[in-house]
A and B are shown apart, each in its own frame.
Chain A
Amino acid sequence: MLNRKVLSALGVLLGAAPAVAYDSSYNMPVGVTQIAREVHSLHMIVFWICVAIAVAVFGAMIYSIIAFRKSKGAVADTTMLHSTIVEVIWTTIPVLILVGMAVPAAKTLVRMDDTRNAELSIKITGYQWKWQYEYLGKGISFYSTLGAESNYARQLHSGIDPNTVKDYLLEVDHEVVVPVDTKVRLLLTANDVIHSWWVPDFAVKKDAIPGFINEAWFKSEKIGHYTGQCTELCGRDHGFMPIVVNVVSKEDFARWVADQQAAAKAAAEGAAPTATTATTIAPAASAAAAR
C-alpha cells in the first residue's frame, strides 16, 4: 500500500505517470463543480509550468555541478561577471509566463465571486466546535457535529483503532443536503471565533467570521457525499468539526425538505415551550461566551 503510493508519487514527480495524478492521496481532487475543475486545471497548469522551469534551472545547476568542477580540471572563466542583456532576458521571460498564468486565474476568480442567481441559500454558522445550517426561507435549521463513532474513537487513550471507524473524523450526525445541478449560495458567519468552511470537491473555502457574513457558492454536477473540514484554527477541537454535504437528486431534495419541515412542525407543536426556551437561550449563551 505504502510502497505503491510512494512509487506512483515518484512517477508523478518524474512526470512519467500523469494518469495516476488524479489519485486523491497526493493531489488535489478534480472536484464535481465547474469551478472546481477550473481550479484543478489552474493548479495543474501552474504545477507543470513550475516543473518546466525546474527542469531548466535545476538542469543548469546540475550541469554546472557536473561539468565545472575543479577535480575535473575546470578553470574558472572570470571574464563575464555581469550582462545587462542576460538580466533583461531572465526578467522578461518570467514576466511573460506570469501574465500567462494571471489571465486564466483572474477569469476564474471573477466567476467564483459571482454569487448572483442562486436557487438555494444556506446560512452556515461556525461554533466551537460544530456547524449550524439554516436553509433560508425553508424553515429548516440544524446543527452538525462529529459523528458519535468517530467521537468515541478520537478520545485520548480511547483504545479504539481509528481504522475500524468508517470515514473516521469525516462523518457527522446531520449532513447538509443539497440538490444536484443547483446553484447553492452559502452565507457564512460564526458565533465565537473564526472558522473556515472547506469542501475540496467544490473548491469552496471561506472563513466564517463573527460579525461578518461572507458569501460563497457551488453547483454540484454529481450526486454523492462530499466531505471537508474546518480549516481555521478555532481552539481545542478544531480538528473535530467536519463537514459532510450530501448531494441528492432534485426530487429527493424536495422530499427531504418536506420531511424536515413536517418534523419541525411536529416538534414545534409537540414541544412549543422547549423550542422557545432554546431560541431565547442561544443569544444569551453566546453573549456569555463573548464576555
Chain B
Amino acid sequence: MAHADTHAAHDHDHDHKPSGIGRWLFATNHKDIGTLYLLFALLMFFIGGAMALAIRAELYKPGLQFFDPGFYNSLLTSHALVMIFGAVMPAFVGLANWMIPLQIGAPDMALPRMNNYSFWILPFAFTLLLSSFFTAGGGPAGGWTLYPPLSLQAGDSFPLTIFAIHMMGASSIMGAINVIVTIMNMRAPGMTLLKLPLFCWTWLITAYLLIAVMPVLAGAVTMLLTDHYFGTSFFNPAGGGDPVMFQHIFWFFGHPEVYILILPAFGIVSEIIPTFARKPLFGYDAMVYATASIAFLSFIVWAHHMFTVGMPLAGEMFFMLSTMLIAIPTGVKVFNWTATMWKGSMTFEPPMLFALAFLFLFTIGGFSGLMLAIAPADFQYQDTYFVVAHFHYVLVPGAVFAIMAAVYYWLPKWTGHMYNMRLANWHFWVSTVSVNVLFFPQHFLGLAGMPRRIPDYSTQFTDWNMVSSVGGFVFGFSQILFVILIWQCVRGGAKATDKVWDGLSHGLEWTVPSPAPYHSFDTPPEVH
C-alpha cells in the first residue's frame, strides 16, 4: 500500500488530484467518473430492486394485499425505467470509463468534460423521474414501453417522465461519443483494432448502437409530448394518427437497446473466462464478427415485440425469420466460450463463478428467446410471464451477473485490495440459487396463462407466484452482501498485486500497479 502510494506519487507528481466534494462534482478523471457511475448504478439497483420486491410482495398471493392497481402499474413502470436506464446502462458506462483507458493504454478518456456532464445529468434525470410519484395522479403507469394512447392518459407525471428520458438519452449519447472517440484515437501504438480487448470491442459496437437509436427514442417521446400538450395527432387515431406507429418507432430503438444491455456483458465474459481457464479466447475474430452481426441484426428484428398488433403476413414472416437468425451469432459466442474452457486449466474465483453462471443462465434466456421468435407460438407467449421470465433471465443472471463478475474481476485493480473471497462465494451461491427460484417458475406461469403487468391473478397461479416471491426476497436481500463486500474492499484488505489473479494475465490493465495510477498511462505502452 505504502509502496504503491510512493510509486504513484513519484511517477505522477504533476497530478493535482482535487480533494473534497470538488473532486467528484468537477470530476474529469476517468476513474473518478467511473466510480461515480458505478455507485449511482448500485444505488439505482437497490431503488429498482425495492420496487421489484414491492411487486413480488403484492403478487405473493391472489387478492390485492397492499397496493391500488394504479400504484402497482407505477411501480412496474418505474422499476423497468430505473433498472434499464439507471442501473444496467450506467453500470456499463462506469465500467467503460474505468477500463477502456486501462485496456487500450491511454491516460484518460478522450473528452473528460463531456464525461463529467454525461454523468451529472443522471442524478437530475432520476430525481425528476422518481419525483413524479408525488405528482397528481402518481408516477408513470403506462409501462416503460409508453404505448399510446395509454401513456397519454397520464397526469402530471407525464412531462417529468418524458424529460427524464430525454436527459438519460443525452447522457447515453455523450457517453457513447466518448467511448468511440477514445477507442478510435487513443489506442497504444501497435494496438490494431483486431488486437483490441473484447470488452472494448463490444463497447465500441454498443456505442454505435446508442448513437443510432437514442435519438429515435427521443423523437418518439417528443411526439408523445406534443400529442399530449400541443394538439398534434401522431399517435391519436381520432386525429388521423396511428398508435401502432409508436410501437414501430419505439421498438426500432428498443431492440438495439436490448443489445446495448447485453453486448458489454459479452465483452466482460470474454475477458474473464480466458483468465481463469488459463487459455486465450477461442476464435477471437469470430467473436468480433459475431458481435457485429448481432448489432446489425438488431436493426431488422424490432417487430417481433409486436407480433400481435396485426401485421400483414409477409411482415410477420420476415420478422420471425430475421429474429431466428440472431440465434446463429449468439450461438457462435456461446460455443466459443465453451471452446475456451475446453482443455483449459480452470479455477473458480468469484469473477469466474459469475461468468459461468452467466454462461448457463444467459443461454437459458437465449433458448426462451428462440421460442419467442416462432411467431405462431409467440401469440401464446406474448405479454405473459413467459416473456417476463425470458427478459429477466437475459438481464439479471445475464447483464447484472456480468456486471458483478466485472466488479469482482477488476475491484482489486481499482482499490488495490483483495476482497473477502468467502463473502463473495456466499454472495454468488445465494444469488445464483435464488435468481432461479425467482425467475424459473415465471416460465410456468406464463405458459399456464398468466398475463404480465397484472396486480392480481386467478387462484391457479398461486403456487408458482409464492415460489417466485420467496426467491425474489432472498435474491434481493442477498445483494446486501455485495455492498458489504465492496465497502470492506474499499476500506482495506490484503494488498493486491499488479497481476491480481493467478491466471492467464491478458490485457494492459494488469501491467499497471494496483490500485491503478490516477492517470493510467502517461507514456503509451508498446503493444506487439
Q: Which residues of A contact B (CB under 8 A)?
A: 1-2, 5-6, 9, 24-29, 35, 38-39, 42-43, 46-47, 50, 53-54, 57-58, 60-61, 64-65, 68-71, 74-78, 80-83, 86-87, 90-91, 94-95, 98, 101-102, 105-106, 108-110, 112-113, 153-158, 160-163, 167-170, 188, 192-194, 196, 198, 200, 203-207, 209-212, 214-215, 228-240, 287, 290
Residue of A5, A29, A77, A234 with most partner-chain B CB within 10 A: A234
A239 to B70, CA, bound (A): 11
Contact B313 A98 (CB under 8 A): no
Nearest A residue to B70 by beta-carbon distance?
A236
Q: A57-B334, A170-B458 are in contact. Are A39 and B153 (CB under 8 A)?
A: no
Q: Is B367 an interface residue (CB 8 A)?
A: yes
- A26-B448, A106-B317, A211-B237 in contact; A194/B147 too (CB < 8 A)? yes
Task: Name the A residues within 8 Å of B453 (CB-CB).
Answer: 233, 238-239
| A–B pairs, 17, beta carbons within 8 Å | A5-B464, A9-B444, A27-B447, A28-B380, A43-B380, A69-B348, A77-B343, A77-B344, A86-B339, A90-B331, A168-B459, A193-B150, A194-B147, A196-B308, A205-B383, A210-B243, A239-B457
Known contacts A90-B332, A200-B380; decide if A82 and B458 are in contact (CB<8 Å). Answer: no
Which residue of B has the minimal Cβ distance to A86? B339
Known A87-B283, A235-B73; further 20 A-B contacts with Cβ < 8 A: A6-B467, A27-B447, A58-B360, A64-B342, A65-B341, A76-B504, A81-B282, A86-B339, A102-B324, A105-B374, A168-B459, A169-B456, A169-B458, A203-B376, A205-B379, A206-B308, A206-B379, A209-B244, A214-B309, A239-B457
Q: Given that A61-B341, A64-B341, A154-B63 are known contacts, is A46 also in contact with B370, CB under 8 Å in the complex?
A: yes
Q: How far is the CB of B280 from chain A (nearest CB, A)?
A: 5
- For chain B, residues 437 to 496, give those with C-beta under 8 angstroms from any C-beta of chain A: 443-444, 447-449, 451-460, 463-464, 466-467
Q: How large is the interface on B (under 10, 10 to 19, 20 to 34, 35 or more residues)?
A: 35 or more
B97 close to chain A: CB less than 8 A: no
Q: A105-B375, A109-B320 are in contact. Are A74 and B345 (CB under 8 A)?
A: yes
Binding site for A on B (CB under 8 A): 62-64, 67-70, 73, 141-143, 147, 149-150, 153, 236-238, 241-244, 277-286, 308-310, 313, 316-317, 320-321, 324-325, 327-328, 331-332, 334-335, 338-339, 341-348, 356, 359-360, 363-364, 367, 370-371, 374-377, 379-380, 382-384, 443-444, 447-449, 451-460, 463-464, 466-467, 504
B448 contacts A25, C-beta separation under 8 Å? yes
A203→B463 CA distance, assembly (Å): 24
Which of A65, A78, A167 sits near B346, CB closer than 8 Å?
A: A65
Closest to B347 in A: A70
Known: A64-B342, A76-B278, A162-B62. A228 touches B449 (CB 8 A): yes
Bound CA span A35–B237, Å: 32
A contact residues around B443 at 8 Å (CB)? 26
Smallest CB separation, A115 vs chain B (Å): 11
Q: Which of B313, B345, B367 contacts A68 (CB 8 A)?
A: B345
Give min CB distance, A45 to chain B, whole Å. 9
Residue from the list B342, B360, B444 in contact with A25, Cβ < 8 A: B444
B430 to chain A, nearest CB (A): 20
A residues less than 8 Å from B141 (CB atoms): 235-236
The answer to whether A70 touches B363, judged by C-beta atoms less than 8 angstroms apart, is: no
Q: Known: A43-B377, A209-B309, A239-B69. Is A76-B344 also a contact (CB below 8 A)?
A: yes
**Complex Cα spacing A108 to B458, Å:** 30
Whether B332 contacts A91 by the Cβ 8 Å rule is yes
> Which one, B64, B150, B286, contacts A156 given CB within 8 A?
B64
CB < 8 Å: which of B238, B282, B345 contacts A70?
A: B345
Smallest beta-carbon distance B56→chain A, Å: 16
Collect the chain B residues with CB atoms within 8 Å of residue A200's CB: 380, 449
Cβ of B339: which chain A residues have Cβ within 8 Å of it?
Answer: 86
Taking the closest CB of chain B, its distance from the CB of A125, in whole angstroms, is 13
Give every chain B residue within 8 A of A210 (Cβ-Cβ). 149, 237-238, 243
When distances are taken between beta carbons in the complex, the residues of chain B under 8 Å from A211 are: 237-238, 241-243
**Cα A64 to Cα B273 with chains together (Å):** 12
**Closest approach, in angstroms, between the C-beta of B337 and any C-beta of chain A?**
8
Cβ-defined partner of A237 (8 Å) among B67, B69, B283, B371: B69
For B459, list chain A residues within 8 Å (CB): 162-163, 168
Q: A58-B360, A82-B284 are in contact. Are A98 and B383 (CB under 8 A)?
A: no
Which residues of the partner chain B approach A157 to less than 8 Å between Cβ atoms?
Answer: 64
In the complex, A266 Cα to B451 Cα: how many Å? 39
Contact between chains at A78 and B279 (CB < 8 Å): yes
Q: Within the assembled complex, what's the spacing in Å between the Cα atoms of A196 and B143?
A: 15
CB atoms of B457 and A69 under 8 A apart: no
Contact B67 A156 (CB under 8 A): yes
Q: How far is the CA of A39 from the CA of B278 in the complex (A)?
A: 46
Q: Assess the B310–A212 pair: CB atoms within 8 A.
A: yes
What residues of chain B lie closer than 8 Å to A154, measured between beta carbons?
63-64, 456
Closest to B330 in A: A94
A101/B342 contact (C-beta < 8 A), A109-B320, A211-B242 known: no
User: B residues within 8 A CB of A108?
Assistant: 376
**Identity of the chain B residue whose Cβ is nearest the Cβ of A232 in the assembled complex:** B383
Q: Cα distance A204–B376 when bound, in Å?
A: 10
Instruction: Return B447 CB to nearest CB of chain A, in Å.
Output: 5
Contact of B376 among A38, A155, A162 (CB under 8 A): A38
Task: Say yes or no: B142 contacts A47, CB within 8 Å.
Answer: no
> Quick one: which of B64, B69, B451 contacts A230, CB cutoff 8 A?
B451
Report the minimum CB–CB distance from A129 to chain B (whole Å). 10
Closest to A58 in B: B360
CA distance A2 to B460 in the complex (A): 11
Partner of B380, one of A39, A78, A90, A240: A39
A83 to B336, CA, bound (A): 10
Instruction: Tell whether A95 pairs with B449 under 8 Å between CB atoms, given A158-B63, A168-B459, A233-B73.
Output: no
